[in-house]
Structure formats: C-alpha cells, structure tokens
C-alpha cells in the first residue's frame, strides 16, 4: 500500500517510529472525538427536532454529565502533552557517545565537516547504527535542517549553535531539506544523508582525509597567539582551558554558566560578554577575523582539552585542572 499510496516518508531512524506512533494516535483520537460529536449532534437534532403542535419544554442540565464530558477529554488530551514531552526530551538529549559533526548553513548550501577532517557540501555520510550529533550554525539567515525520513528538524541560527541528533537504522540515501524560507533559492537548498554500512563508511572515511578538526583548531590557537595568554599553568593572563568544557564557570558578576559550545563561541567572538571571576577584560574580539569553519575548529580544540589523554604525550603541557580553579574560554 505504501508503494502506491504513500501516507508518510520512509522510516529510517530510531525516532521515526515513535514520532509516527504519536501522529497516528493524534489522528485516531481526533477521529473518535469528531465521530462522537457528529453522532451526538445528529441524534439530538433528530430527537429534539421541532414538531408542529408540540410545545418545547425546558430541560435541566446534568452536573454529573457535564463534569464527565469535561474531565475525560481533559485526561485524554493530556496524554498528547506527556507523550510529546517524552519524545521532545529524547530528541533534545544527544547520547554521550554520539559522533559529532559540524554543519554550517549558508545561502544556499550545507557545509559539513567531520571531526576526522572530511568535508562535504550538501551531503552527509554516516554509518548505520551510530548516534550522530550535529552542531549547526548559519553564516547569514535562519535555515532549518529537516530530514523527513528521520523525523527530525531543527532551526539553524546565525550567531550561535543549535544541536540535533539521530541514529540511522536503514542504509540508503535520504533527502535533506531546508524547511525555513531563506531567500530566492530556498527551494534549491537541499542535499542528502547517505547512510552506509560500517565497513563502507570506514572505507569512505579513509579516502581524502585531512587533518582532524581539533588539530586544525590547535594550529589556529597557536597562530592567533591564543597560547600566549591561555597557558596550561597558573601564570597566564587568561584562564587555563584544560578541562573547562561542560564545566561550571564563575563569572565576575557572580553568575555561574556552563562552558558549552555556545559559551566557547561567544567567548571568542565577544570576549567581554561574560568576564570570568579573577580575570581582566583584556582579550580582543575575533569577530570578522575567524570564519565559522575556523570557529568550529577552535571549539573542537577547546573541547579536546577536556578529553582523557590517549597516552603520556602532551600530559606535561596539559595538566589537570584543580577543582577550585576559575575557568573561562576566551581565545587570545
């Protein structure tokens, strides 16, 4: 039936079946409610129709009946909220082991960069059965990353990161749309998600690989002079960045914020927005100096400083951060 009369797109992710189930439930409840109302209106219209020679009599209402038809539909409708909220939080909480991919939207294309260094335009290759987290931003206007087969959609905003995650379950090629009107060529801003078997994906990743994103960020960190102030000891004029990512940061005004991707990005582009406690606002802005792709690399490098070392190399340059040490992410 789906071949000749498709009711919805292909289902190719772990969330798509749950979204479809909620949608079908909404349709069934709406259909039942509509049928009950239609039947009630029809029956009452026939039973209490105007008959010549018969005078109308006043009928008193029933409190029990009124309470019943108010309470029962209320709890039925409440299931929409509960079910939808559960799905929402599942879709908004990427698994800890998700593979991260950076996405930059611009009129009218999707620029994609993997952590391993591979770059794509209007295509995203992923392995089947792997959690994938997209970290997205826009160079110009609001776009929207929409993959119907995965039942996922997320606005992509200029000036900040938004995130989205999925786990593909069926190999194949699935269309990517921009679901937010972004200009005259909006309808042409599309692409494909290519879901591959793990062996094929490994072969694809091995071809045309460049430097890992965090290594590119490390080179930028050095070339921009950031290491001059952000030293891996207590002697720097800027905070030690080792171990800072996703940790609480105490600000000069007494607030505490979490050093997530957006905090790192803001601290590079607008370093005086959130001054960390114990440090001076001496860092210059890099707004207009670094591109969105370079920002992604710098963010990836800062995040890598919080990852457990894979060996003894680099331990002397990246000591552990003491629990009480004040941190900030401001590249200088």
Half-sphere exposure of 280 (CA within 13 A, CB side): 4
Torsion of CA 298, 301, 305, 308, to 10 degrees: 160
CATH 1.10.760.10 domain span(s) along the chain = 213-304
pLDDT above 50: residue 321: no
- Between CA 263 and CA 164 the distance in angstroms is 18
Which residue do the tokens 């030293």 mark? Answer: 231
Cβ 236 vs Cβ 326: under 8 Å: no
288-327 burial, b at 16+ Cβ within 10 Å, e below that, comes to eebebbbbbbbbbbbbbbbeeeeeeeeeeebeebeeeeeb
pLDDT above 50: residue 48: yes
Q: What angle do CA 304, 97, 164 make, to 5 degrees?
A: 90
Q: Tell me: domain 1-48+61-210, CATH 2.60.40.420, correct? A: yes
pLDDT of residue 5: 65
- pLDDT tens readout for residues 176-212: 999 999 999 999 999 999 999 999 999 999 887 678 9
- Between CA 114 and CA 102 the distance in angstroms is 6
Q: Which of 28, 19, 21 is nearest to 148 (CA)?
A: 19
pTM of the model: 0.83
- C-alpha distance from residue 162 to each of 42, 98, 149, 209, 242 (Å): 50, 15, 20, 26, 24
DSSP single-letter state for residue 158 = B
- pLDDT tens readout for residues 82-128: 999 999 999 999 998 899 999 999 999 999 999 999 999 999 999 99
CATH 2.60.40.420 domain span(s) along the chain = 1-48+61-210
pLDDT of residue 308: 67
Cβ 331 vs Cβ 285: under 8 Å: no
Peptide bond into 108 cis (omega under 30): yes
Looking at the domain that runs over 213-304, which CATH code has it been given?
A: 1.10.760.10
pLDDT above 50: residue 266: yes
Q: Which residues, including other chains, have CB under 8 Å from residue 208's CB and lie 6 or more apart? A: 118
């Amino acid at each position: 039936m789906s071949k000749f009369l498709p009711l919805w797109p292909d289902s190719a992710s772990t969330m798509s079946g749950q979204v479809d189930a909620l949608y079908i439930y909404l349709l069934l409840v709406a259909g039942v409610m509509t049928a009950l109302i239609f039947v009630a209106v029809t029956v009452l219209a026939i039973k209490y129709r105007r008959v010549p020679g018969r005078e109308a009599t006043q009928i008193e209402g029933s409190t029990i009946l009124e309470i019943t038809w108010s309470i029962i539909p209320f709890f039925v409708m409440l299931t929409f909220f509960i079910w939808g909220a559960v799905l929402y939080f599942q879709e908004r909480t990427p698994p800890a082991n998700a593979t991260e991919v950076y996405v930059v939207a611009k009129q009218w294309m999707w620029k994609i960069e993997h952590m391993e260094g591979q770059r794509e335009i209007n295509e995203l290759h992923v392995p089947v059965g792997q959690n994938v987290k997209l970290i997205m931003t826009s160079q110009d206007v609001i776009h929207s990353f929409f993959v119907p087969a995965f039942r996922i959609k997320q606005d992509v905003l200029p000036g900040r990161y938004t995130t989205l995650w999925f786990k593909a379950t069926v190999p194949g090629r699935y269309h990517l749309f921009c679901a937010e009107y972004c200009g005259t060529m909006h309808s042409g801003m599309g692409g494909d998600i290519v879901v591959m078997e793990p062996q094929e994906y490994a072969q694809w990743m091995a071809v045309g690989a460049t430097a890992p994103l965090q290594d590119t960020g490390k080179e930028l960190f050095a070339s921009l002079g950031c290491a001059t102030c952000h030293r891996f000891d207590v002697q720097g004029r800027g905070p030690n960045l080792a171990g800072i990512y996703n940790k609480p940061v105490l600000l000069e005004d007494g607030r505490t914020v979490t050093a997530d991707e957006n905090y790192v990005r803001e601290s590079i582009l607008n370093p005086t927005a959130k001054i960390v406690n114990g440090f001076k606002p001496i860092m210059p802005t890099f707004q207009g100096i670094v591109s969105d792709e370079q920002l992604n690399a710098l963010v990836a490098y800062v995040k890598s400083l919080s990852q457990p070392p894979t060996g003894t190399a680099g331990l002397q340059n990246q000591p552990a951060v003491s629990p009480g040490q004040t941190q900030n992410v401001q590249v200088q």
